[in-house]
Homo-oligomer: A and B are copies of this chain.
Amino acid sequence: MAAQNPNSLNIDLPTVLIHRLPSFNFPIAARLFTHFHLLDPITSPPTSPALFHSIRALLCVGPTPVTSDTLNHLSSLQIVVGTSAGVDHIDLADCRRRNIAVTNAGTAFSEDAADYAVALLIGVLRRVSASDRYVRGGFWPVNGDYPLGFKLGAKRVGILGLGSIGSEVAKRLAAFGCSIAYFSRKKKASVSFPYYENAIDLAANSDVLIVCCALTDETQHIVSKDVMVALGKEGVIINVGRGPLVDEKQLVGFLVRGELGGAGLDVFENEPNVPKELCELDNVVLSPHCAVLTPESFEALQDVAIANLKAFFSNRPLDKAANGAHALALPVPFNLGSG
């Protein structure tokens, strides 16, 4: 049995507790095994619950919740290494109170998320997925030309949250001839794009809204009914952040009534459940929360997680850049655009 457990050889390495729901895969472990003793209670339940109170570092897989109750069982915990861009599933206030550092995926996912946002946007404007259905359904020879889409160039794109993902989105869409503006927690001195003071003003001056901010108490439903009204009936909403950033019930109503031009959604309020009404619309592109899922981004994620865990166990600062990423060590406040 021991031979089947790669950890049996590494018992002298620093121990990291794997925290995951049984349904969540853990695809990034390959290189972690060579640096840490990984303790996964799902596959190897510890003989004594007391062991948990000796754990100093926790690796949180995907959006597995880290609640006050979780923390109560881990009285020695000093760091939570998150593996997603967002940290809305982690009780940040309680971590702060207990002086537990929290890190996220840094910029490991930023490029893939930005690529996907662009694909969703062109997909909505030019009806790419709907055209694909049209061809596969055999309609082309019968019904002739597919209806016109809309050009991406010269569109006014408003970015909600100009963090690492939003910045990559801006860089890409500038090359398509779009004009860029943004709303973020605060105006960024290093950025020349126009800044708006709130989401409604940004929407009122945009043809497209790209949502890529972190989900916090302040940003929940930041894309509200009022924002949708301001965006207007030809406006397009792209969400690669988190489902609850958008008031989904309102969004569905606006789309069904034709009061928005379209939407490209990788995330939803009640995943994996998607409102049925959206599945009937050709001006909507739907995606199962996979904007960041590539082998390349998982490699980059391992770089970030290993760098942060090594820094922690060596008492080095956690804000060390790893693969271009900066760890977020609390109590540094989370940036609206970091999600």
Residues on B with beta carbons closer than 8 Å to the beta carbon of A128: 116, 119-120, 123, 128-129, 285, 287
- Given known pairs A116-B122, A122-B115, A140-B274, the reply for A150 and B294 (CB within 8 Å) is yes
Total A residues in contact with B, Cβ cutoff 8 Å: 55
Q: Would you give the shortest CB distance from A271 to chain B, in whole angstroms?
A: 8
Asked if A248 CB lies within 8 Å of chain B CBs, one says no
Asked if B119 and A123 make an inter-chain contact with CB atoms under 8 angstroms apart, the answer reads yes
Asked if A39 CB lies within 8 Å of chain B CBs, one says no
Residues on B with beta carbons closer than 8 Å to the beta carbon of A175: 171-172, 174-175
Asked if A286 and B135 make an inter-chain contact with CB atoms under 8 angstroms apart, the answer reads yes
Asked if A322 CB lies within 8 Å of chain B CBs, one says no
Bound form: Cα–Cα A153–B288 in Å: 21
- Given known pairs A115-B176, A122-B115, A126-B119, the reply for A140 and B288 (CB within 8 Å) is yes
Asked if A97 CB lies within 8 Å of chain B CBs, one says no
Asked if A146 CB lies within 8 Å of chain B CBs, one says yes
Asked if B123 and A288 make an inter-chain contact with CB atoms under 8 angstroms apart, the answer reads no
Interface residues of A in 126-183 (CB under 8 A from B): 126, 128-129, 131-136, 140-141, 144-146, 148-154, 171-172, 174-177
Asked if A239 CB lies within 8 Å of chain B CBs, one says no
Residues on B with beta carbons closer than 8 Å to the beta carbon of A176: 111, 115, 118, 172
Asked if A25 CB lies within 8 Å of chain B CBs, one says yes
Bound form: Cα–Cα A175–B111 in Å: 11
Asked if A151 and B288 make an inter-chain contact with CB atoms under 8 angstroms apart, the answer reads no
A-B contact list, 21 entries, CB within 8 Å: A25-B145, A115-B122, A119-B123, A129-B129, A131-B288, A133-B133, A134-B288, A136-B286, A140-B271, A140-B274, A140-B288, A141-B273, A145-B293, A146-B290, A148-B290, A148-B294, A149-B293, A149-B294, A150-B294, A150-B296, A151-B295
Show the binding face of A for B, using Cβ within 8 Å. 23, 25, 111-112, 115-116, 118-120, 122-123, 126, 128-129, 131-136, 140-141, 144-146, 148-154, 171-172, 174-177, 271-274, 279, 285-290, 293-298
